Structure 1
Amino acid sequence: MICPVISLIFIMVYRSFRNGNANKPLSRNRPKGFFVNLYVTFYLLIGAVSSLNSQLLTGNIYAYIIILFGVAVIFPIKPKILLINLIGIHLVFVIGLFLIEQNRVSWIIKLINSTGVAVISFTIALAFYSFRKNDFFNKRKLSRNEESFRRLFNLSPNPLILIKPDNNEILLMNQQAVEYYQLHDKSTDGSFLFRNPIEKDDILARLKEQKSIKNIVMEHPITHTLRKWSMLHFELVDYLDDTCMLIGTTDITDIKKTEEELERHASYDILTGVRNRRSGIELLRKHVSGDKSGSGHESEEFILSFIDINDLKKVNDGLGHALGDDLIRTCCEVFNRHIDLHDVLFRHGGDEFIILFFKKKLEDAERIWDDIQRNFEAINSLKQKPFPISASHGLYHYKPGDVTTVEKILEIADKEMYKVKSLYKQQQNKKQEASFIS
Structure 2
Amino acid sequence: MKLFKTLINKINNSIKKRRLDSDEVLEFDRINNVLCLNRIKVISIALIVLSIYFFYADCFLFNTFKCEIYKRTLFLIHFIIFDLSIIFLFFYRWIIKKNDYDGIKIQKLIIKFYVFFSVLLGTITSINSQRLTDNIYNYIIIIFFTAILFPIEPKYKLFVYLINHIFFILKISNASYDYYKMLADQINSTTVVVVAIFISFSMYKYKIDEFLRKNRLKESELNFKKLFEVNPFPLFITTIKDGKIIMANKKAMKFYGISEEKLKMLDSEDFYKNTDERKLMIEQLKNEKSIENYIVEHKKLSGEIKWVISNYKILDYKGEKCILGGVTDITELKRMEDKLAGYAFIDPLTGISNRRKGLESLKELINKTQKGNYEFAICFIDINGLKKVNDLYGHKEGDFFIITVCNTIKSSIGKEDILFRYGGDEFIILFPDKTKEEVDIQLKQINNSIDKLNRIKNKPYKISISIGLYYYESNMNLTIDEIIKFADDKMYEQKIKYRNNRKIY
TM-score by length of 1: 0.88
Encode CA deviations 1:356-382: one digit per residue, 9 max, x unaligned. 112312332222011110111122233
Q: Are residue 417 (structure 1) and residue 495 (structure 2) matched? A: no
Corresponding residue for residue 317 of structure 2: 239
Corresponding residue for residue 436 of structure 1: none
Q: Distance in 2 between matches of 1:429 and 1:121?
A: 118
- Shift of the alpha carbon at 1:299? 11
Structure 1: 5+ residue stretches without partners: 431-438
Which secondary structure state, in structure 2, belongs to the residue aligned with residue 340 of structure 1?
A: coil
**Which of 248, 251, 261 does residue 173 from structure 1 map onto?**
248
**Which of 118, 139, 147 does residue 64 from structure 1 map onto?**
139
Corresponding residue for residue 366 of structure 1: 440
The amino acid across from 1:321 in the alignment is H
Q: Distance in 2 between matches of 1:291 and 1:181?
A: 44
Larger mean CA deviation between 313-322 and 119-128 belongs to 119-128
After superposition, the Cα gap between the structure-2 partners of 1:114 and 1:299, relative to the gap in structure 1 and judged at 3 Å, is: farther
**Which of 196, 199, 206 does residue 277 from structure 2 map onto?**
199
Give matches, 1:133-144, under 5 Å: 133-144=208-219
Corresponding residue for residue 281 of structure 1: 359
After superposition, the Cα gap between the structure-2 partners of 1:242 and 1:38, relative to the gap in structure 1 and judged at 3 Å, is: same
Corresponding residue for residue 57 of structure 2: none
The amino acid across from 2:321 in the alignment is T
Corresponding residue for residue 385 of structure 2: 311
Q: Are residue 382 (structure 1) and residue 456 (structure 2) matched? A: yes
The amino acid across from 1:145 in the alignment is S
- Shift of the alpha carbon at 1:300? 6.5
Q: When the two structures are aligned, how many residues end up with a matched partner?
A: 423
Corresponding residue for residue 399 of structure 2: 325
Encode CA deviations 1:328-372: one digit per residue, 9 max, x unaligned. 111111221122222211111110111111231233222201111
Which secondary structure state, in structure 1, belongs to the residue aligned with residue 501 of structure 2?
A: helix
The amino acid across from 1:390 in the alignment is S
Q: Are residue 94 (structure 1) and residue 172 (structure 2) matched? A: no
Conserved 8 A contact 1:3-1:43: no
Which secondary structure state, in structure 2, belongs to the residue aligned with residue 327 of structure 1?
A: helix
Conserved 8 A contact 1:158-1:249: yes
Identical aligned residues as a percent: 35
Aligned CA-pair RMSD: 2.7
Which secondary structure state, in structure 2, belongs to the residue aligned with residue 269 of structure 1?
A: coil
**Which of 300, 306, 319 does residue 222 from structure 1 map onto?**
300
Corresponding residue for residue 200 of structure 2: 125
Conserved 8 A contact 2:369-2:375: no
Q: Are residue 35 (structure 1) and residue 110 (structure 2) matched? A: yes
Larger mean CA deviation between 265-274 and 28-37 belongs to 28-37
Larger mean CA deviation between 127-136 and 108-117 belongs to 127-136
Encode CA deviations 1:2-55: one digit per residue, 9 max, x unaligned. 234334545666754552334x5xx98344333322221111111111111122
After superposition, the Cα gap between the structure-2 partners of 1:300 and 1:182, relative to the gap in structure 1 and judged at 3 Å, is: farther
After superposition, the Cα gap between the structure-2 partners of 1:96 and 1:401, relative to the gap in structure 1 and judged at 3 Å, is: farther
Q: Distance in 2 between matches of 1:230 and 1:39?
A: 63
Conserved 8 A contact 1:286-1:299: no
Give matches, 1:262-277, under 5 Å: 262-277=340-355
Q: Distance in 1 between matches of 2:382 and 2:301?
A: 45
Which secondary structure state, in structure 2, belongs to the residue aligned with residue 275 of structure 1?
A: coil
Q: Distance in 1 between matches of 2:98 and 2:464?
A: 99
Larger mean CA deviation between 133-142 and 158-167 belongs to 133-142
**Which of 324, 327, 333 does residue 255 from structure 1 map onto?**
333
After superposition, the Cα gap between the structure-2 partners of 1:28 and 1:225, relative to the gap in structure 1 and judged at 3 Å, is: closer
- Shift of the alpha carbon at 1:80? 3.2
Structure 2: 5+ residue stretches without partners: 1-77
Q: Distance in 1 between matches of 2:503 and 2:157?
A: 123
Corresponding residue for residue 348 of structure 1: 422
Conserved 8 A contact 1:307-1:392: yes
Conserved 8 A contact 1:14-1:35: no
After superposition, the Cα gap between the structure-2 partners of 1:122 and 1:196, relative to the gap in structure 1 and judged at 3 Å, is: farther
After superposition, the Cα gap between the structure-2 partners of 1:63 and 1:135, relative to the gap in structure 1 and judged at 3 Å, is: same
Q: Distance in 2 between matches of 1:351 and 1:128?
A: 94
Give matches, 1:390-409, under 5 Å: 390-400=464-474, 402-409=476-483
Q: Distance in 1 between matches of 2:372 and 2:295?
A: 24
**Divergent runs of 4+, >6 A:** 297-300
